[in-house]
Amino acid sequence: MSDQVALATPGTEEAELLERMDRARLPRHVAVIMDGNGRWARQRRLPRVAGHRAGIESVREIVEISARLGLEVLTLYAFSVENWKRPKSEVRTLMRLLKEYIRIELNRLAGGNIRFTAIGRIDELAPSVRRELQHAMEMTERNSGMKLNVALNYSGRAELVDAFRRIQSMSEKRPVTVSEDLISDCLYTAGVPDPDLLIRTSGEMRLSNFLLWQVAYAEIHVTPTYWPDFRRKHLFEAILDYQKRERRYGGIRNGART
């Protein structure tokens, strides 16, 4: 009960949603395409970067609540390989906000037993960003609680290319048998269960090159809410939606007869 109080203020809509949630059937891994920062800003006649700044507050809340709820893995899509196409000033602000987020939140992540990992082509990021990421990964590597993956300079296709290249170089040393397990083990997410629930904010119905291999059987929840407005209430709604789904994995309904 004290935990319920900590996760939601009694009498609020989120407390009611939390009550309806089956805490024994949480998704193990939730992945989020954090979208709509630009539209959130435009709605307020603000520059796009104001939307990115506001989005940090959502990251803070969702990371904290996910860990306290007991999710094993949370993966956030923060910057795609394709996002380099944006104006230089916007990219610069996004990188600056990322560094700021880590600097401000690192103690909280470490104290919350959260393990931080950056996934993507990290070696192509600026040295100052890499240093910050490296520091955060080292500071939290022994944490045993929720794993927080932040996808940066990430592309699902690039991840598969990187995995196949690894397999190719392995095969130059010894014979290898290509299997689903081997491919999974060569992805950035090696050792992490596939996402059970994929959330996309701002209403877009597409994957935008995110975790293409891993979402094979993820349940998808799209909310019209823009990322800067996304709070625990929306996460609870997404989890409740997930809990209503029947996951069949190509089989037939549990207990159904032919």
35 as an active site residue: the answer is: yes
Q: Cβ 135 to ligand IPE, closest distance in Å? A: 22
Are the C-beta atoms of residues 77 and 154 closer than 8 Å to each other? yes
Binding mask 207-226 for ligand IPE (x = CB under 6 A): -x------------------
Closest CA to 146 of 17, 18, 26: 26
Q: List the one residue from 17, 18, 33, 69 that touches ligand IPE (CB under 6 A).
A: 33
Give the dihedral sign, CA 200/203/207/210: negative
Least distance from C-beta 32 to Mg ion, angstroms? 13
Q: Which does 228 bind (CB under 5 to 8 A by kind): Mg ion, ligand IPE, none?
A: none
Binding-site residue total for Mg ion (CB under 5 A)? 1
User: Which residue has the closest beta carbon to Mg ion?
Assistant: 35
* C-alpha pair distances (Å), 75 with each of 63, 142, 148: 10, 18, 6
113 assigned to active site:
no
Catalytic: which of 83, 162, 185, 241? Answer: 83
Least separation in angstroms between residue 227's CB and Mg ion is: 9
Q: Please tell me whether residue 99 binds ligand IPE under the rule CB under 6 A.
A: no
For the record, the structure tokens of 26 come out as 């949480």
Distances from the Cα of 141 to the Cαs of 168, 225, 256, in angstroms?
A: 29, 33, 45
Q: How far is the CB of 198 from ligand IPE (least distance, A)?
A: 12
Please choose, out of 4-12, 134-142, 179-187, 198-206, the segment that lies near ligand IPE by the rule CB under 6 A.
198-206
Burial of 122-142, coded b for 16+ CB within 10 Å and e otherwise, reads beebeeebeebbeebeebbee
* Residue 31, SS3 per DSSP: strand
Q: Cα separation of 228 and 230, whole Å?
A: 6
Q: DSSP per residue over 170-206, as a string?
A: HHHHS-----HHHHHHTSTTTTSPPPSEEEEETT---
Instruction: Find the binder of Mg ion among 29, 31, 32, 35 (CB under 5 A).
Output: 35
The answer to the question of residue 223 lying near Mg ion (CB under 5 A) is: no
245 binds ligand IPE (CB under 6 A): no
Question: What's the token pair of residue 86?
Answer: 């944006």
The site for ligand IPE (CB under 6 A) is made up of 33-39, 77-80, 83, 94, 202, 204, 206, 208, 227
Active-site positions? Answer: 35, 83
